Structures are given as C-alpha cells and as structure tokens.
Amino acid sequence: MRSTEQALAPPLRRRRGLGWGALVLLLLLAPLAATAQTANRSYDKIVDAVVARYHLPGIAVGVIENGQVVYTRTAGETVAGSGQKITPRTLFKIASNSKAMTTALLGRLVDQGKLRWDDPVTKYLPQFRMHDPWVTANMRVADLLTHSSGLPEGGGDLMLWPEPNTFTRADIIHGLAFIKPGYSFRAQYQYDNLLYVVAGEVAAAAGGASYETLMHREVFEPLGLSRCQVGAWNRDTVGDVATPHRRDGDRNVPIPEAAAIPAITSAAAGGIRCDLTDMLSWARNWLVPTPAQLQWLSPRQRQTLQAPHMLIPVSDQRRAWDHSHVMAYGYGWRMADVDGQWNVWHTGTLNGMYSMLSLLPDRNSGFVFMINGEAGDARTVLGEVLTKHFTRPGDTRDVNWYADALERQSKQRAQVSPLPDASTWQAATTTEMAAWTGTYRDPWFGDVTLCPQDGKVRFAAKKSPTLTGTVMRLDKRYLVHWDNGELDAWLDFHTASEAAPVSLRMAKLDPDGDFSSDYEDLDFQRLGGCP
C-alpha cells in the first residue's frame, strides 16, 4: 500500500504537471514574485505620473537593483501621432552621456600604454592652442575632461549647435585660441563641450584611427552594445529610431531628421545614440563588471574615471532635496553624496532629447531613462523620485511634489527677471539699419551678414545656416528673431573709431536660456558692405 504522499503525488502530477518539490518551490518563490510585482507597480506609478504631468511623446526607463535589471518600461511613440511605439530597442540621442563613453575609450588607451592622463595635449595635437600660451603648454589630457580649462560656460558651443552646420573638428581646434577665458585655468568648474571634441581627437591620434572607428572597436563591440550608433549611419537601415520633439503649446511637434545621419563634429561630446537595452548593459558594466569587462577596462582606470577631480558648487536646491555636502566632476561623470549615499551620474540634453544615467555604486543599483521631447523639468523630477526609491524609501515627496516645486521656482524667476514683451517688437527697417548693415567676422565663429532682403534686414551665419533670422526693434534695442525657433539674441552695435571698425556684440534675450547659445562670447567686426 502506498503512503499518503505516494497516493497523492501521481494525481497531482497528472493534473498540474508539478511534484511536491516544485510546489514547495513555488510557495517559496511566491512572496518574491509578489514583491517584484509590487515594485513594478511602484515604478509604473512614477513613470505614468511623469508622462502625464509633462505630456511626454515617448520614454524608455530601466532600473537595476543589486546588479540585476528588475524593471524596464517604454511608453509613447517614436514620432508623436505615428502609432510607432517606443521599444527597448528604440534608439535615442544620449547627448552628454556620450562623454563617459569617450573617457572610457581614453581609459582603454591608457591601459594599452598608448596614452597617459598627464600627457600634454600638444603631444598628440601640435596645432592645439588656447587663448593663453601658458595654458596651451600646460593643458594635459586630463584637463580636457574636468570642465576646469578656464573657458566660459558653453564657450564656443555655437560651433557645435544648432545643427546642421559646417564647422569641422579642425575648426574647433583652431577656434579655441580666440575664445577668451572666463576665469583662471583649473580655478573652477564651468561646463564646456569643445574640449571633449578635442579629447576625441586626442584619442584618434593616440589610437591610430578615427574617433568613430575607435568607439565601435574599443567600446561598443567588446561590451556588446550592438545598437549604439556613432558616425555616419542610416535611420531607415538601422530602424526603430526615436525622433526628437519640441513643445508647441499643448502639442509635441517632431523635429525632422534626414534618413542619412552624418558623422557629426560633436560626437565625442554628445553625438552617440543608444537604446535602453544597451544603456542598461553599459550601466551594469560599471556596477557589477564581469571578469571579461574587468579585462576590457582595468579597475584602476574605472576608479580614475569615477573619482572626484574638480569640485562643483552645491546648490541650495540640492542641499534641501538631497542633503548633499559635496559635488564633483570626474572624467565624464558627476558625483555627490545623496542622503548619505554616493551617487555617480550624468545627464544628456540635445534639442528635443533628454537622458539620465544614475549609479549608486555601493548598492550595485541605478537607473537610466531617455525621453524624445522637451523634458528638462521632467528629467529632474523623474531622476529625483527614482533616486529616492533607493536613498529614502518611503519618502512622501512624489512626482507632483517635485513638479510643483519646480513650477514655483520658475514663476519666481519670471517675476524677478521678466522677459521683454515681444508683442511690441517690429521688424527693423532698412533705413534705420543702414549704418549697421554689412558683413561681419568673429575670429572663431566666422562670417555673418546683416543685409536688406524683401524690405527687412536679415541675419545669416555662413557656417551655421540654422542661425538665419530677421532683425527686430524692441523699444530702443535691436534683436534677431531666428526663423527656426532658436534662442533669440540681442544685437548691440558700436560705432567705428579711428582704431576700430563698426563692431557687434550679442547676448541671449533670455539670460537663463541654454548656455550653449553662447552669443556673449562672440565679438564681431564689420569687414565691409553686403555682398
């Protein structure tokens, strides 16, 4: 006679396909599954709230806990209204998150003995010049990466953006000599992009191939980042590519791109595109590297890249929200203490695309997300709430709390520094502008024209065709209103003297606008009349 267990087992196996051992295992795993479902619902609630609050066209989010990907979520469309859904394989511009990939490439070259961090830049690029000859002679490879060169914030970025433009990497290296410093060398942190372009050219010189070739060979291929793109490629051939969007009232308006994506000058600073799957692999490489990945990049170089090299002032907001005491920049990474835990991260911003990758190394945890729309505040809010999931679990400040706080700050700034009322402006006449029309040259940006056209005065930049617009008069000042929605700029003319011709300076209409619109660093002199 069979035992009770023996008697019951066969029917159970026949009906359910499970034995007692499997049943016990299921019972043991059930609480874990329930916990995972609860966590997923928690993350879903956060993502849904951000998408709803900011009306995002599309987003891809991934979360890592204890070295494992525990959550992925995609929502929205590659192109608003297209019905083409965002997937984990949708390519996004990661923008300045490209910088950490550039520094990893340089770290590879250091491991290979082809480069040293303290090598002078001129060893690899003899033509490299900064405004100050002493800075030129003493600029090390490491100095290119820490935003402490003395360049003003975003200095020279008009050679990179808006796109398309015809500035080359050689133009950037040449132009650096004419950009006046905003402060002393290695004295303080001011974010710049041009020197990351230079760093990419240093890598090319040391590695014996183009930056794009090296990035594929030394970073993408060894790490299995099969979808990441840099250099020239085709949207239609690659497929599943998110389109950037701008916000127009209550609509997300696509910013069109040609099928043929060119090899852009800014690649090393912000020109890489990746999908969610590859970005999570990239993040895990930093949190829980495999033996093969530790061969790919040594522990010594990993530590160097994510060590604090330049202090960053801690804002009042960060002190209040995150209880941070110190903030710094490494090589392509930001870092700070957040609620008593070490946080290493970076963000990415390009016209119509936002990203964030955040690591909590002591917990082997972190997250990444990418958005294909105007999402500055959305990124801040989502980054804060996801971070608090790890650093302050149970914190009652949700998406709407942070969003409301940012909205109040924005209203306060507008009250303190209101923008001019553009409703009263009118197109400047050719007669009143007669003394100022002509061809002007800035030593790093090149030539622009202010010339009559169809009864108006038009501004046109030779090497940056997107910077074309109409000269307007607002009260007693002139400004240029760009055709393509770029940040408008004041035009301040200065009469000629015996020592100098007519000159032109520019400034952002919105002083808090994107620092990459660095009109303030331009210094034009008139060469002659209109062509």
> Of 377, 397, 372, whose CA–CA distance to 385 is shortest?
397
pLDDT, one tens digit per residue, over 76-94 is: 999 999 999 999 999 999 9
pLDDT, one tens digit per residue, over 300-320 is: 999 999 999 999 999 999 999
| Class of residue 195 by CB neighbours under 10 A (exposed 0-12, middle 13-18, buried 19+) | buried
Q: What is the pLDDT along the chain (531 residues), one digit of tens a residue?
A: 333 333 333 333 333 344 566 565 556 555 545 445 666 899 999 999 999 999 999 999 999 999 999 999 999 999 999 999 999 999 999 999 999 999 999 999 999 999 999 999 999 999 999 999 999 999 999 999 999 999 999 999 999 999 999 999 999 999 999 999 999 999 999 999 999 999 999 999 999 999 999 999 999 999 999 999 999 999 999 999 999 999 999 999 999 999 999 999 999 999 999 999 999 999 999 999 999 999 999 999 999 999 999 999 999 999 999 999 999 999 999 999 999 999 999 999 999 999 999 999 999 999 999 999 999 999 999 999 999 999 999 999 999 999 999 999 999 988 888 888 888 899 999 999 999 999 999 999 999 999 999 999 999 999 999 999 999 999 999 999 999 989 999 999 999 988 889 999 999 999 999 999 999 999 999 999 999
Can you give the pLDDT at residue 27? 60
Can you give the pLDDT at residue 8? 31
> Of 211, 204, 152, 199, whose CA–CA distance to 178 is shortest?
152
Neighbour count for residue 89 (Cβ, 10 Å): 15
End-to-end CA distance of the chain: 108
Place of tokens 């808090």: 512
Helix (H) or strand (E) holding 53: helix 20-54
Torsion angle of the four alpha carbons 225, 227, 232, 236, in this order, in degrees rounded to the nearest 10:
170
User: In the chain, how many H helices and how many E strands?
Assistant: 16, 23
Answer yes or no: pTM beyond 0.85.
yes
CA atoms within 13 A on the CB side of 515: 10
H helical segments located in 339-466:
376-391, 399-416
What is the distance between the alpha carbons of residues 492 and 479, in angstroms, rounded to a whole number? 8
Express as a percent the part of the chain with pLDDT over 70: 93
> Of 471, 489, 317, whose CA–CA distance to 406 is shortest?
317
Contact 369, 355 (CB under 8 A): yes
> What is residue 64's DSSP assignment?
E
- The residues near 97 (Cβ < 8 Å, ≥ 6 apart) are 272, 279, 346, 347, 348, 355, 356, 357
> Of 508, 472, 474, whose CA–CA distance to 490 is shortest?
508
Can you give the pLDDT at residue 339? 98
What is the distance between the alpha carbons of residues 366 and 353, in angstroms, rounded to a whole number? 21
Residue 70 phi/psi, 5-degree rounding, is -110, -10
Can you give the pLDDT at residue 422? 84
Contact 274, 225 (CB under 8 A): yes
Structure tokens at 405: 């706080």
CA angle, 152 as apex, 369 and 144 as ends, to 5°?
65
- The 8 Å CB, 24+ separation contacts for 399-408 are 399/46, 399/49, 399/50, 399/53, 400/49, 400/53, 402/321, 403/53, 403/54, 403/377, 406/377, 406/380, 406/381, 407/377
- 302 SS3 class: helix
What are the residue ranges spanned by the domains of the chain? 47-416, 422-528
Q: What is the CATH number of domain 47-416?
A: 3.40.710.10
Structure tokens at 167: 């500035």
Place of tokens 């002032």: 313
